[in-house]
Amino acid sequence: MVNSSQIPYFILTAYLDMGYLKYLYFLIVLMLYIVIVFANALLIVTICMNRSLHEPMYVFLCSLLVNQLYGSAGLFPFLLLQIPSDTHTISRSMCFLQIYCLYTYASVEFCNLAVMSYDRYLAICCPLHYKARLTSNKVALFIALVWLYSLIKFLVSLFLTFHLKLCGNVIDRLYCQNYYVTKLACSDTTVNNIWGIVATFLTIFVPLFPILFSYTKILRVCVVGSKETRQKAVSTCSPHIASLINFSFGCCFEIFQSRFNMNGSPRILRIVLSLYFLAIQPIFNPIIYGLRLSKIRQMCRNQFFCKKL
C-alpha cells in the first residue's frame, strides 16, 4: 500500500498499438486542434472587437468559447505528445492538473449553458424589461459566478483524491480521470464517493433547473404568442438547444461507459465515446453559433473577409 504522493507517474493503457498509423492519427488530432483554436478564437475576437456585439447573449457566448479553448488545452496537447510516443505515461502532478482542467471545463460548460438559457428567457418572455434585468454588471457577475463555482467545487474533489492511498498506477484510459484514479485506492473511499455524488448533482442538476425553467417559460410564450415571437425563439434558441443536447449526450456517453462494463464493445468505440464531449463540443459550438446567428456571420465577414483596401 503506497500513498499517492509516492507514485511518480500513471500508465495509460487505452492507447492502441498503432504502428505507423500513429503519425496519421497525430496529423488528424493536430488538424482538429488547429481548427478548434482558429474557430473559437475567430468568434472571440469578432465579439470583442465589435461594440454592437457587446450584448449579454454574445458576452455569454464569448465565455462559452473561452471555455472551449480552456478544455481543449487540457486534452489536445497531451494527446499530441502521447500518440507518437511508445510509452504512455503521465506524471502524478500533470495527471491531477488534467483532471482538474477537464472536470472544471465540463462544469463551466453546463453553467454557461444555464446562464445563456436564462438570457434567452428574459429576451423572449420579458423583452421590455430585458436591459433593466440584465445589466452589464449582472452579466459580469453571472460570468464570474459560473467560473468561480466550477473552479472552487472541483478543488474539493482534487483534494480528496490526492490524499488517497493507492495500490496501483495503471489507468485504462487515454487521459486521467478522477473516477479511475479513485478506483486504484486501497484506503476507504466513502467520503470520495459521497462527494462524487454531490459534485455530480452540483454539476448537472443545479444548472438543469434554470434550463428547464427557462425553456418551459419560452415554450409557453411560443404557444400563445405571435408568429413573430415563435420565429424569434426558434432563431435565437436553436443554436443553444443544439449545443446543450450535443454536450449532454457526450457527457452521458462518458458517464455510461465509465460506470458500466463495456469490455464487450469494440475498443475503438469506447475511445470515441470517451473523447466525444471533449473533442466535438469545442468545434460544434463555433460552427452552430456561427451558422445560425446572422449578426455574428455578418460581423466575421466585415471584420476579416470583406475589408476594402
Q: Considering the domain boundaries, does residue 168 fall inside one?
A: yes
Q: What are phi and psi of 12, to 5 degrees?
A: -100, 115
Q: Considering the domain boundaries, does residue 309 fall inside one?
A: no
**How many folded domains does the chain comprise?**
1
Give pLDDT, residue 262.
66
Q: Considering the domain boundaries, does residue 151 fall inside one?
A: yes
CA distances from 218 to 12, 110, 123, 146, 189 (A): 46, 19, 10, 23, 43
Residue 33 neighbours by CB distance under 10 Å: 20
Q: Is this structure's pTM higher than 0.85?
A: yes
Give pLDDT, residue 303.
61
Q: Considering the domain boundaries, does residue 308 fall inside one?
A: no
Nearest 5°: the CA angle 280, 114, 128 is 125
Q: Considering the domain boundaries, does residue 208 fall inside one?
A: yes
Averaged pLDDT of the chain: 85
- Looking at 126-205, list the stretches that DSSP marks H as alpha helix, in order from N- to C-terminal side: 130-133, 136-162, 178-182, 190-200
CATH number, domain with residue 260: 1.20.1070.10
Domain of 58, in residue numbers: 2-302
Cα–Cα distance between 184 and 164 in angstroms, integer?
9
Q: Considering the domain boundaries, does residue 307 fall inside one?
A: no
Give pLDDT, residue 309.
40
Per-residue pLDDT of 2-50, as tens digits, reads 444 567 889 998 887 777 788 898 999 999 999 999 989 988 988 888 8
Per-residue pLDDT of 48-81, as tens digits, reads 888 878 889 889 999 999 999 999 999 999 999 9
Q: Across 66-70, 89-93, 133-137, 274-278, which has the greatest mean pLDDT?
A: 66-70
Per-residue pLDDT of 216-261, as tens digits, reads 888 888 877 777 777 777 777 888 888 889 888 888 887 777 776 6
Q: What are phi and psi of 231, to 5 degrees?
A: -65, -40
CA distances from 25 to 83, 143, 174 (A): 7, 36, 14
Per-residue pLDDT of 154-191, as tens digits, reads 899 889 888 888 888 898 888 998 888 988 888 888 89
